[in-house]
Amino acid sequence: MKKLISTFAGLLIAGTLFAQSLTGYDIMKKADEVPSPKTSSSTATLTIHSKKGSDRIREVIMKSKDYGDVTKEVIVFTTPKDVAGTGYLMFEYAEDAKGNKKDSDNWLYMPAMKKTRRIASSGSESEGSFMGTDFTYQDMGDRSLNKYTYTLLGEASVDGVMCYKVECISKAHTEKDPRYITYISKSDYIMRKCEFYDRQNQLHRVLTCSDFTTISGYTTARKMKMENVQTGTWSLIETKNIVYNANDIDDSLFTVAALEKGRIR
């Protein structure tokens, strides 16, 4: 019995030491490797809250498909009439064997102008407001692990969930928000919260993920709120009608032609 107890105690200690040995990069790598569905289809309500207290409501359709080396995603606004048909197409490329990642390809279609334009995946344009929201174009895609350095700052509770608190600093130092602190759940490595700091190291924006549920085995946040603490504005995405791994998402939907012809419904 004594031998069994000592062995069990040793396993507990080993487990604790392993947990303590995780670095900030290890945690972010695990978060990046959380399984995701091959396809995703949903609708969402987007609320844009101004500093004067008024709200603008948008409805969107979102679809994505993972092709292995690239994930293609499209977002199309359906209401109100002044933005209906506006679409955003994004190709996010997977990392290669050396951990390098090709910059994403992004297109924005504006039906009022009947014109599609490329959106740069880096630089000032990528950091601009996405359709008048507090989200940026950069926020809509994935951030490459190799473009940041990581430091584990400790642990913190977010809505009762214990999280790793990881500081992420851009190696380029040229971004509008070159530093952010993200809160990654210890139980499933899903992000619960993220704080973005500007070049003066002042808190700029706070992203909060909530209303979590499990759909087809995937942990999903149905609400994502980005608050600009410097301006008092915020934007809320409330996702509905979520379907994962459906087989009826046509490859042709992830094209500029599909955006321009209004095929995505």
For each of the chain's 265 residues, which pLDDT tens digit applies? 444 444 334 444 444 444 458 999 999 999 999 999 999 999 999 999 999 999 999 999 999 999 999 999 999 999 999 999 999 999 999 887 776 778 889 999 999 888 999 988 766 677 889 999 999 988 988 788 888 999 999 999 999 999 999 999 999 878 889 999 999 999 999 999 999 999 999 999 999 999 999 999 999 999 999 999 999 999 999 999 999 999 889 999 999 999 999 888 7
DSSP run (H or E) holding 15: helix 2-21
pTM of the entire predicted model? 0.88
Q: What angle (nearest 5°) sits at the alpha carbon of residue 117, between those of residues 227 and 207? A: 15
Residue 27: half-sphere exposure toward Cβ, Cα within 13 Å: 30
CA distances from 37 to 196, 219, 225 (A): 27, 11, 23
- In our burial notation (b when 16+ CB lie closer than 10 A, e otherwise), range 136-165 reads bbbbbbebbbeebebebeeeeebeebebbb
The structure tokens listed for 136 are 């940026």
DSSP string for residues in 181-207: EEEEETTT--EEEEEEE-TTS-EEEEE
The structure tokens listed for 195 are 């704080």
Cα separation of 147 and 168, whole Å? 9
Contact 49, 58 (CB under 8 A): no
φ, ψ of residue 31 in degrees (nearest 5): -65, -40
